[in-house]
């Protein structure tokens, strides 16, 4: 919710006020030419009226209380939210006030309205509501209100920006993905049963010693006879399967095609990657996976997102976790690696002829973190423009999961074909895409990129 009072009042004359000034000048000239004193009195009157109106506007200016609340304040791209705007003044309000809501260019032009409204609540607030379409993901600021106040005669006016801006989070919309890509992987039926072994014996792998309070129905009589003491079946505990999602945020992997006012880096390929990451996260969450989100440097992918409610969370699970991921992806943007990070170059090195713009950025830290969760669930990476050298650094991670999937998006078809082949040869399933490719189609294409028995990729092509 946004609240605030008046700020930045600036006074000026209206066209009608400047008309009075022009009439005063003409009357003065006429008085000089015709030598008539009564015209001088008219000149003084015509000049003082707009000056008095301007002075009254500057001296008697009401304070405004502005309260704004979008409901909901977190909305999915392509949806709408209803914004409630309440205004109340204190002090003298003798003239008329017109207002307009200031919105970011992506959200369009804000509504205009008059104050006070037709109905005023008992607490003195005038209430307004408007529907706001949210076409694109992002972290937006609604407001302030731009006000124009004129005196009763319309000779002078003053402008102000009222209230504070209100935060609105627009999350990327997810796309439904085919279940066939992950069929047969751990977690396909939801939770996975894990057994805690109390003894190393193969015969007794599912039994343990009887403990006080254990129900007799769980006594394992065959094991009891062998050990000469009561043995019970091992307890089973349900744990969520784990999955790792790696989102490429290297700026050099997503070349900008233009800059919209106030929106910074603009890359259709990166927008596609974010949508794909959101879709994969939703797909995995539906299958009861807990999710880790990493970037290609091995850090937490959402750590640098202004909209992330839990930027340092090591993993996410359940509906609340998915909601946190969606919020974090709302404002995520490509970034350049800092000093000491993979992919960082000095100015001289970057200017060398033939320097690769898509290499590096896959750190040993990423591989260490992927290996730390070996065989706990699938690995899905969403990459931008990548060359074969960078892909060779990531390729060994295919051995850390029962299924390693890669979505590679580039601005033109085939731009990362060499990198895709390197990953396929290491056992990855790879799907290449452009910003025009449907996310669900690119995901489904992973089903035809089957590794063979030797671990190399065999791509089945259809005519």
Is residue 409 within 8 A of residue 431, CB to CB? The reply is no
Q: What count of residues does the chain have?
A: 463
The rounded distance, in Å, linking the Cα atoms of 223 and 206 is 10
Residue labelled with tokens 């057994």: 195
Give the rounded distance of the alpha carbon of 242 from its chain centre: 23
The pair of structure tokens assigned to 365 is 């830290």
Residue labelled with tokens 């640098």: 304
Return the ∠ at Cα 145 (arms to 143 and 148), rounded to 5°: 155
Q: Can you name the residues that pair with 266 across neighbouring β-strands?
A: 258
Strand residues in 251-386 grouped as ranges (E): 290-295, 379-383
The rounded distance, in Å, linking the Cα atoms of 10 and 128 is 25
Q: What is the DSSP letter of 235?
A: P
pLDDT on residue 240: 66
Phi and psi angles of residue 132, each rounded to the nearest 5 degrees, phi first: -125, 120
Give the pairing of strands 192-195 and 236-239.
Answer: antiparallel
Give the pairing of strands 242-247 and 290-295.
Answer: parallel
Is residue 3 within 8 A of residue 153, CB to CB? The reply is no
pLDDT on residue 8: 53
Q: What is the DSSP letter of 219?
A: B
CA distances for 383 relative to 171, 190, 344, angstroms = 20, 27, 18
Give the rounded distance of the alpha carbon of 24 from its chain centre: 58
pLDDT on residue 205: 44
Task: Name the residue among 361, 324, 7, 318 with its Cα closest to residue 162.
Answer: 7
Neighbours of 415 (CB within 10 A): 20
pLDDT on residue 10: 66
Residue labelled with tokens 């996260």: 281
**Residue 36, CB-side half-sphere exposure with 13 Å CA sphere:** 11
- Across the chain, which has 463 residues, the per-10-residue mean pLDDT values are 53 90 93 87 92 83 90 96 94 84 94 89 92 96 92 88 94 96 62 39 58 75 83 61 95 77 69 98 95 95 96 94 97 78 44 40 88 91 95 95 95 94 96 97 85 39 32
* Rg (the chain; Cα; Å): 33
Under CATH, to which class is 242-459 assigned?
Answer: alpha beta
Phi and psi angles of residue 458, each rounded to the nearest 5 degrees, phi first: -120, 115
Phi and psi angles of residue 334, each rounded to the nearest 5 degrees, phi first: -60, 150
The rounded distance, in Å, linking the Cα atoms of 109 and 111 is 7
pLDDT on residue 229: 84
CA distances for 65 relative to 59, 88, 193, 400, 424, angstroms = 19, 5, 58, 58, 61
pLDDT on residue 207: 76
Is residue 220 within 8 A of residue 232, CB to CB? The reply is yes
The rounded distance, in Å, linking the Cα atoms of 175 and 165 is 31
What kind of fold does domain 63-171 have according to CATH?
Immunoglobulin-like (2.60.40)
pLDDT on residue 230: 83
Is residue 14 within 8 A of residue 148, CB to CB? The reply is no
Contacts of 320 (CB under 8 A, 6+ apart): none
The rounded distance, in Å, linking the Cα atoms of 428 and 375 is 15
């Amino acid at each position: 919710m946004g609240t605030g009072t008046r700020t930045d009042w600036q006074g000026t004359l209206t066209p009608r006020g400047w008309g009075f000034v022009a009439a005063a000048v003409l009357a003065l000239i006429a008085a000089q030419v015709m030598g008539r004193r009564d015209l001088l009195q008219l000149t003084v009157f015509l000049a003082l009226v707009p000056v008095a109106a301007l002075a009254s506007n500057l001296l008697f200016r009401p304070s405004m209380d502005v309260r704004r609340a979008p409901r909901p304040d977190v909305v999915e791209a392509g949806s709408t939210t209803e914004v409630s705007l309440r205004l109340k003044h204190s002090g003298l309000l003798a003239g008329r006030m017109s207002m307009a809501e200031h919105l970011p260019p992506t959200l369009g032009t804000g509504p205009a309205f008059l104050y006070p409204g037709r109905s005023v609540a008992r607490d003195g607030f005038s209430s307004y509501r408007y529907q706001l379409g949210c076409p694109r993901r992002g972290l937006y600021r609604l407001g302030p209100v731009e006000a124009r106040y004129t005196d009763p005669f319309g000779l002078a006016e003053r402008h102000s920006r009222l209230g504070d801006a209100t935060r609105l989070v627009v999350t990327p919309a997810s796309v439904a993905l085919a279940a066939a890509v992950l069929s047969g992987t751990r977690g396909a039926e939801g939770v996975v049963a894990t057994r805690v072994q109390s003894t190393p014996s193969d015969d007794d792998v599912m039994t343990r010693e009887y403990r006080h309070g254990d129900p007799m129905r769980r006594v394992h009589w065959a094991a009891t006879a062998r050990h000469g003491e009561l043995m019970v079946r091992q307890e089973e505990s349900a744990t969520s399967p784990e999955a790792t999602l790696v989102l490429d945020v290297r700026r050099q992997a997503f070349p900008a095609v233009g800059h919209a006012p106030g929106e910074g880096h603009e890359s259709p390929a990166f927008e596609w990657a974010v949508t794909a990451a959101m879709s994969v996260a939703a797909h995995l969450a539906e299958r009861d996976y807990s999710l880790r989100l990493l970037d290609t440097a091995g850090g937490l992918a959402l750590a640098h997102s202004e909209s992330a409610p839990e930027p340092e969370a090591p993993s996410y699970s359940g509906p609340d976790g998915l909601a946190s991921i969606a919020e974090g992806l709302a404002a995520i943007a490509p970034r350049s690696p800092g000093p000491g990070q993979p992919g960082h170059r000095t100015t001289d090195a970057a200017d060398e002829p033939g320097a690769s713009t898509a290499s590096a950025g896959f750190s040993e830290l990423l591989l260490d973190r992927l290996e730390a969760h070996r065989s706990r669930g699938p690995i899905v990476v969403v990459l931008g423009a990548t060359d074969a050298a960078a892909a060779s650094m990531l390729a060994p991670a295919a051995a850390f999961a029962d299924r390693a999937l890669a979505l590679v998006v580039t601005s033109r078809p085939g731009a990362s074909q060499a990198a895709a082949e390197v990953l396929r040869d290491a056992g990855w399933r790879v799907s290449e895409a452009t910003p025009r490719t449907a996310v669900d189609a690119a995901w489904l294409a992973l089903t035809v990129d089957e590794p063979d028995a030797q671990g190399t990729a065999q791509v089945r092509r259809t005519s």
